[in-house]
A and B are shown apart, each in its own frame.
Chain A
Amino acid sequence: MPEIKVKEFDPELLPDMLPVYYKRLFPHKQFYRWLSYNNSLQHELVFDIDLTDYDDVRTCCSEANICNKCWKFMSVACKVIDVALRDDFGFEHILWVFSGRRGIHCWVSDKQARQLDTKGRGAIADYLQVSMSGGEGSTTKVALYDKQHHSIKRARSIIEPLFDEIIVEDQDAFGTTQGVEKLLKMIPDENCRKDLEQQLTSSMKDSRTVWSSFKGYFESLRVRSQLKPKLKYVVEEVQMAMLYPRLDINVSKATNHLLKSPFCIHPKTGKVCVPFNPNLVQKFDPINVPTISLLLDEINEFDGKRNEIAETPEDKSRIKDYKKTSMFKGITIFEEFLRKLEQSLKSQAITISDKKMDF
């Protein structure tokens, strides 16, 4: 993939650019394939994760802004949800899409998922919803007990190794007085909280030291068997509360909530909603997602070069326009998703016709 040049996007020019985009670049053919499931009324099971829901734990940016450090929250969320959907629920046809600005969307297109009723969607959403938030401004909490569901254990095994890098280092979460306060708030015991407060606020420390003294404090209590049962998992609870995926659960529960479709142009950023590979989500770069302005330049540039080399029009038309641009990768992922989906539809059809032969 060529080095992408970040081109300034001007929302004023969007109305002029959109017709060209939809005429030359938007993958209509693939879309038609995607939408022609069974001619019946269905809705994919969808998930929406937005970085604004992480505003209390991210320090690098806030609100609509996004950087590569923030993206790590999305990366963790994508991994936790993706593996649960595949391993626990047996879904296979899952499309992950960058939402164009600061979030990600997940479309589950398995037949069973498309046919789910509200109750089924609600059950899956609740199954995946672990952290509790008391609402605006309150701290997000996760409660862990001795008995932990296998999905919780698996989420922990994804989250815990990344916690230091994302929260302690990148976000420098406990490097400020407010950060330490937030951490202390998450301790569900007043005495311990006061105890630790003295230790942690006596002198200004960096994020890493604070986190290790936090862990050390509870570890030493545990060793001396003075750790109260409710504090047994306090370290893990903090990790889960800060990194467990924060789903916009109502989007998944109902079928009337619409998501922006893949390959739309985000009206504010001009970025394309490109699909990405969940296995390589950590390598996805949300900053350099192609904008509509860049893409149009790319086709023009390509066509210009081509015209110089070969003037034959047939030759030119053989190369699909999107292949000339940095949207190429996103479309390849989409096509791969469609290919597998169509394959499963075909094999289902074969099984059905086989069954009919028996009679």
Chain B
Amino acid sequence: MDFPKKSKIKVLKSPDEQSLDTLLPHNCLFYILPPMIDVSLKDFEDLAIERLKLLRILEQAGVKHPKILSDEWKEHVINELNIAGLKYFVRLLRGNGNTEQDMNARRRDYLSHFILRFAYCRSEDLRRWFIAREMELFRFKFSSLSSKEVKEYVELYEMGYRPISEDQKQEVRQELQSSVLHNIDGIDFYKVSFLAVLDLVRQRKCFLKNGFAYVSSMDFSIGVTLEDSLRFWREEFTKTIEPDKFDKSYAYGIRYNYGKEGSRTNWSPHSCMKVINTQGTSQDACGCPFKLWDASELRTRLVNYGINPVNVQDVISLATKGHFQIACSRYFELTHNTKLDEGISHPNGYFENSQILMENREPKSKTPQMSQQNQRRQHAMTQQQNFKRKLEARVKAEHDYDEELWKLSEQEEQRMAELKSKEKAQIEMELSQLESMDWDDDDDNVKELSDLM
């Protein structure tokens, strides 16, 4: 095969290329066999850093736009990839293709995956993080395939999935329609082992027969993060209100807070003062409990939570005098057996402090920028800890990363940042140089970029 002479990646010019390419039949790769070719140390390092950048972009996109595979999420990923100079990945996120550029992108994707897999196989935490990000990447790639491409893909990898025939579909029509959420007409259904779609089974979201789940190509790539969070709230709220009412009165609110409805702003959460000053009744599932509950209700609850009666009186007298936040802080101190330096002024603060104490760790050396971002990302409900917990888990995982790779990538980023601040023009020139070296189809890329904007 003939390769463009400009390609700067020497690794791809080895004599093993031909056999390598047979391992890479599709833009949406299964990384089945590891590469058996020589890679120069420099390329090895470059590829590792690129992959790490890619995965970090995915992670950040997930923090910013909790619904994986939503339009906002996709846009964020693509923009960030373009900014980071990883355009070849963008290509892989646009369905299948068979041009030389596609092949080139596949090779880099393939090699970098295995290099980073190598680095991230060493502990359970690293593995989990790596797999979660790679899953997101795969789902992004897969979700871009058209229904025809899905069919080809399934055949290519001999997954043994065939769309069921129209006759078969009609046979189970009624059960099928009552068991899936969307309309079934005109949609290909695949018959797969129920073990392959456990998440759908768990939620009773697919038709099951004889050990086989009937799933549509839509079900394959449905993102569930928002759904998960909706379900969480529904379960929490239906302890006091009925599911229907939840759907009507709260689901919109939650989507609104996530920036999915209305003005589509990602709202910041209320502080304690704001929560306290907002009107509400004790029947509501929101608001400051120390304000809304009367002394007897508060007493019952506190006793149920296992607070010693003397201290219960303490908290209640603070609350009845109108010192709701001090009462809250006192409650925190009692349940966590600690002394607070400063009182609780924000529900998030309560949660964060609690997390830190529960994990018996000092506040992590988060960059201030990070915590600010986290703050901003919080939504307005007072009981939002579940989602916050997910964020915390992600931040926590960051600590366990392979330090060396981190240093490498941070150095790289730092270098980039310095360059940026020094001379924008120079960077642009450099980038354009890089691109002309990397790619033959610059025009093509420009067009893709402008499509995005």
Residues of A within 8 A of B (CB): 87-91, 112, 116, 119-120, 122-124, 126-127, 132, 134, 143, 145, 147-153, 188, 229-230
Interface residues of B in 180-202 (CB under 8 A from A): 181, 194-195, 198-199, 201-202
Nearest A-chain residue to B240, judged by Cβ: A134
Query: What is the bound-complex CA distance between A147 and B211, given in angstroms?
Result: 22
Query: What is the bound-complex CA distance between A148 and B203, given in angstroms?
Result: 12
Contact B201 A127 (CB under 8 A): yes
Contact B243 A120 (CB under 8 A): no
Contact A120 B198 (CB under 8 A): yes
Any A CB within 8 A of the CB of B209: yes
Q: List 8 A-B contacts (CB under 8 A).
A: A88-B210, A90-B210, A119-B198, A126-B202, A127-B208, A148-B178, A151-B204, A229-B244
Q: Which residues of B contact A116 (CB under 8 A)?
A: 195
Nearest B-chain residue to A127, judged by Cβ: B201
Q: Which residues of B contact A126 (CB under 8 A)?
A: 201-203
Q: Which residues of A contact B239 (CB under 8 A)?
A: 134
Known contacts A87-B210, A89-B194, A149-B179; is A230 also within 8 Å of B244 by CB?
yes
Any A CB within 8 A of the CB of B245: yes
Query: What is the bound-complex CA distance between A119 and B202, given in angstroms?
Result: 10
Any A CB within 8 A of the CB of B439: no
Produce 1/0 per residue, B198-220, CB < 8 A to A.
11011110011111100000000
Interface residues of B in 238-257 (CB under 8 A from A): 238-239, 242-245
Any A CB within 8 A of the CB of B175: yes
Contact B178 A150 (CB under 8 A): yes
Q: Which residues of B contact A127 (CB under 8 A)?
A: 201-202, 204, 208
Known contacts A89-B211, A147-B178; is A230 also within 8 Å of B245 by CB?
yes
Contact A150 B175 (CB under 8 A): yes
Q: Which residues of A contact B203 (CB under 8 A)?
A: 126
How far apart are B305's CB and chain A's nearest CB, in angstroms? 14
Known contacts A143-B243, A149-B179; is A89 also within 8 Å of B198 by CB?
no
Q: Which residues of B contact A152 (CB under 8 A)?
A: 204
Q: How many A-B residue pairs have CB under 8 A?
A: 63
Query: What is the bound-complex CA distance between A179 and B354, given in angstroms?
Result: 43
Q: Which residues of B contact A145 (CB under 8 A)?
A: 243
Contact B198 A123 (CB under 8 A): yes
Query: What is the bound-complex CA distance between A90 and B212, given in angstroms?
Result: 8
Query: What is the bound-complex CA distance between A132 and B202, given in angstroms?
Result: 15
Contact B204 A149 (CB under 8 A): yes
How far apart are B237's CB and chain A's nearest CB, in angstroms? 12
Contact A88 B202 (CB under 8 A): no
Q: Contact partner of B211 among A112, A119, A134, CB < 8 A? A: A112
Contact A89 B208 (CB under 8 A): yes
Contact B244 A153 (CB under 8 A): no
How far apart are B209's CB and chain A's nearest CB, in angstroms? 7
Contact A150 B210 (CB under 8 A): no
Q: Contact partner of A188 among B174, B202, B242, CB < 8 A? A: B242
19 extra interchain contacts, Cβ-Cβ under 8 A, other than A88-B211, A127-B202? Answer: A87-B210, A88-B209, A88-B210, A89-B211, A112-B195, A120-B198, A123-B199, A124-B201, A126-B201, A126-B202, A127-B204, A143-B242, A147-B178, A149-B178, A151-B208, A153-B178, A188-B242, A229-B244, A230-B243
Residue from the set B211, B238, B242 with the largest chain A CB neighbour count within 10 Å: B211
Nearest B-chain residue to A149, judged by Cβ: B204
Contact A123 B201 (CB under 8 A): yes
Q: Which residues of B contact A119 (CB under 8 A)?
A: 198
Query: What is the bound-complex CA distance between A90 and B213, given in angstroms?
Result: 11
Q: Contact partner of B209 among A87, A112, A188, CB < 8 A? A: A87
Q: Which residues of A contact B201 (CB under 8 A)?
A: 123-124, 126-127
Residue from the set A116, A122, A230 with the largest chain B CB neighbour count within 10 Å: A230
Contact A123 B211 (CB under 8 A): no
Q: Which residues of A contact B195 (CB under 8 A)?
A: 112, 116, 120
Q: Contact partner of B202 among A89, A122, A143, A149, CB < 8 A? A: A122
How far apart are A238's CB and chain B's nearest CB, in angstroms? 14
Contact B204 A90 (CB under 8 A): no
How far apart are B259's CB and chain A's nearest CB, in angstroms? 27
Nearest A-chain residue to B195, judged by Cβ: A120
How far apart are B215's CB and chain A's nearest CB, in angstroms? 14
Nearest B-chain residue to A228, judged by Cβ: B244
Q: Which residues of B contact A120 (CB under 8 A)?
A: 195, 198
How far apart are B159's CB and chain A's nearest CB, in angstroms? 18
Nearest A-chain residue to B212, judged by Cβ: A90
How far apart are A189's CB and chain B's nearest CB, in angstroms? 8
Q: Which residues of A contact B208 (CB under 8 A)?
A: 88-89, 127, 151
How far apart are B172's CB and chain A's nearest CB, in angstroms? 9
Q: Which residues of A contact B178 (CB under 8 A)?
A: 147-150, 153
How far apart are A218's CB and chain B's nearest CB, in angstroms? 15
Nearest B-chain residue to A88, judged by Cβ: B208
Nearest B-chain residue to A143, judged by Cβ: B243
Q: Which residues of A contact B209 (CB under 8 A)?
A: 87-88, 90
Contact A150 B211 (CB under 8 A): no
Nearest A-chain residue to B243, judged by Cβ: A143
Residue from the set A123, A152, A229 with the largest chain B CB neighbour count within 10 Å: A123
Residue from the set A119, A124, A127 with the largest chain B CB neighbour count within 10 Å: A127
Nearest A-chain residue to B210, judged by Cβ: A90
How far apart are B200's CB and chain A's nearest CB, in angstroms? 9
Q: Which residues of B contact A134 (CB under 8 A)?
A: 239
How far apart are A268's CB and chain B's nearest CB, in angstroms? 33
Nearest A-chain residue to B194, judged by Cβ: A89
Query: What is the bound-complex CA distance between A229 and B210, given in angstroms?
Result: 34
Nearest B-chain residue to A150, judged by Cβ: B175
Query: What is the bound-complex CA distance between A123 and B206, given in angstroms?
Result: 12
